[in-house]
Structures are given as structure tokens and as C-alpha cells.
């Protein structure tokens, strides 16, 4: 089957600085891939390129289907009610109805008519997820979507994303710093270092996952990141 995302020899330079160095990447339809790497390794740059937000690149990439993106900040329009943020840009459908359905999926039925500024960080991020999913994308690009949330909200979001992904099955590329997040959610983990993919791990664990089931793999992924497990504990 054709890849949902296909990248060949992708190079990105900012002036003299090469930030992505001949990246090759394939994501199968419905596959969940996490991209880990130190700060500045090029993760967000790769995601922005795939999202079409940066076109000044060398090499080739192809995303044949539809794409939705969610960022660390929910980026909601404060002058539009929650449901209008979710349905914004949808054509030829009852926007209110599809927004209500998506908001029910992220358990925000009570906030359909709320203003974005009245939401908690976790609620706003769930609106952002609903907005991404309502488009039924073939590819979902997530750039540290839980990075700004507190630890407990983040755990709840992991559970929610796992459920939503299993129901909708988009191909996902999740950029994260959080090794546990990658191990909980992804089929495959890629480690990016100085613009190159330096390691790949297949996570063959049944879902839903528990942290206790991946302690060895965690140590190995942390080693790829140059982190001793003891430091990260
Ligand atoms: N618009 C830009 N102009 C110049 N340099 C840039 C620009 N955007 C990113 N960079 C540089 O490219 C490198 C990779 O940035 P990128 O944001 O992709 O890293 P990252 O792995 O996502 O980091 P983090 O985990 O901290 O978000 C960094 O050194 C950054 O300074």
C-alpha cells in the first residue's frame, strides 16, 4: 500500500546551517510514529515542512492524503465560540453538528458554546484535537501537543489520543520530548539527531499500554538520546 507520508533525501538549510540532512521517512496509512530528539535536532522543522508551512527545501516528500496539524499551543480564535473554532473552514456540512460530535469525542460536550478564554489548558488542547479530527485527516501531525500541560492532564490526554487514534486511524507523526509518551502511543519511534534519523524502534506492545511494560525499551531509547536512565528517573 502507498505510504501516507513519504520523504526522500530531505534537506533543509537555514543559511549556512543544515538542520535536516538527507532525511528518509515512510509512514504507513494508520501508523503512529513518534519523533524524539534533543532540542534543536530538527523535529519541528520536519513537521512544518510536511505540513506545507515551509517550502524552501531540497529533496522530495509526498503526503497524498489530507493533513491536520495540532501544535503545543492550541491556537484557538478567542472571538469564536468553541464549536465555531472546531468547525471553522468546513464546507458543505452542518458545522454545529459535526463540531458537537467531535467535542463529544474529546469529552467537551459541556463546553460547546464556551469562549476559548474560559477553558483550562487541557480543555483548550482537547478543542484543538477535536478541530484536527473533525476533518478526518489521513495524516495527523502533532507538534508536542501536550508539552504545555501539567503532568496529570497529560496522562489523561495520552489515554484520549490513544482511543481517538484507534477509532479514526489516521497516520500520525508525533513530535515529543517525552520518551514515555512515545512508548505509550507509538508503533514506531524515530530518534532525530542533528537533522538525521539515527535510531528506530518498533514498539510491539499491546494497547492500551502501561509504563511497567516498557522499562527495557525505555532505557534503550534514552541511551540513543544520550541520557542515562538514572538521570531521567
Ligand atoms: N526560521 C528559522 N531560522 C533560522 N534557524 C531556524 C529557524 N527555525 C529553526 N531554526 C533552527 O533549526 C534548528 C532546528 O529547529 P527545530 O525547531 O526543528 O528543533 P526541534 O528539534 O523541534 O527543537 P525543540 O525540541 O527545542 O522544539 C534549531 O537550531 C533552530 O535554531
Task: Sketch the domain layout of the chain as residue ranges.
Answer: 5-232
Tallying the residues shown for the chain, one arrives at 233
Say if residues 122 and 149 touch (Cβ distance below 8 Å): yes
pLDDT at 225: 86
Atom of ligand 1 nearest to the CA of 15: 4
pLDDT at 233: 47
Grid cell digits, residue 96: 454545529
Grid cell digits, residue 41: 535536532
| Superfamily holding 5-232 | P-loop containing nucleotide triphosphate hydrolases (3.40.50.300)
Q: Complex ipTM, two decimals?
A: 0.95
| Between 180 and 1, residue with greater pLDDT | 180
Grid cell digits, residue 127: 478543542
Q: Is the CB of 39 under 6 A from ligand 1?
A: yes
Which of 211, 216, 110, 126 is closest to 163 using CA atoms? 126
Q: Identify which of 12, 23, 35, 44 to mutate to test ligand 1's pocket (most ligand atoms within 8 A of the CB).
A: 44
- Claim: this prediction has a pTM higher than 0.80: yes
pLDDT at 37: 94
Instruction: Pinpoint the alpha helices (H) of the chain.
Output: 43-50, 82-87, 95-105, 121-133, 151-168, 179-185, 215-224, 229-232
> Can you tell me which residue has the cell 469564536?
80
pLDDT, tens digit, 9 for 90 and up, residues 139-153: 999 999 888 888 878
Amino acid at each position: 500500500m502507498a505510504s501516507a507520508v513519504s520523504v526522500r533525501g530531505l534537506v533543509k538549510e537555514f543559511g549556512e546551517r543544515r538542520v535536516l540532512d538527507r532525511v528518509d521517512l515512510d509512514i504507513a496509512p494508520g501508523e503512529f510514529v513518534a519523533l524524539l530528539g534533543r532540542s534543536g535536532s530538527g523535529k519541528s522543522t520536519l513537521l512544518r515542512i510536511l505540513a506545507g508551512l515551509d517550502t524552501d527545501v531540497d529533496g522530495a516528500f509526498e503526503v497524498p492524503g489530507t493533513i491536520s496539524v495540532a501544535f503545543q499551543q492550541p491556537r484557538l480564535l478567542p472571538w469564536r465560540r468553541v464549536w465555531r473554532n472546531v468547525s471553522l473552514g468546513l464546507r458543505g456540512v452542518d458545522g454545529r453538528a459535526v463540531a458537537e460530535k467531535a467535542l463529544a469525542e474529546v469529552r467537551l460536550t459541556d463546553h460547546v458554546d464556551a469562549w476559548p478564554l474560559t477553558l483550562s489548558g487541557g480543555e483548550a488542547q482537547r478543542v484543538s484535537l477535536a478541530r484536527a479530527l473533525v476533518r478526518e485527516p489521513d495524516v495527523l501531525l502533532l507538534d508536542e501537543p501536550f508539552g504545555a500541560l501539567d503532568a496529570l492532564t497529560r496522562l489523561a490526554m495520552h489515554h484520549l489520543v490513544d482511543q481517538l487514534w484507534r477509532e479514526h486511524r489516521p497516520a500520525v507523526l508525533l513530535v515529543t520530548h517525552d520518551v514515555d509518551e512515545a512508548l505509550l502511543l507509538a508503533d514506531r519511534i524515530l530518534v532525530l539527531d542533528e537533522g538525521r534519523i539515527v535510531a528506530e524502534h518498533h514498539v510491539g506492545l499491546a494497547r492500551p499500554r502501561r509504563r511497567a511494560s516498557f522499562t527495557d525499551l525505555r532505557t534503550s531509547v534514552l541511551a540513543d538520546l544520550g541520557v542515562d536512565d538514572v538521570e531521567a528517573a
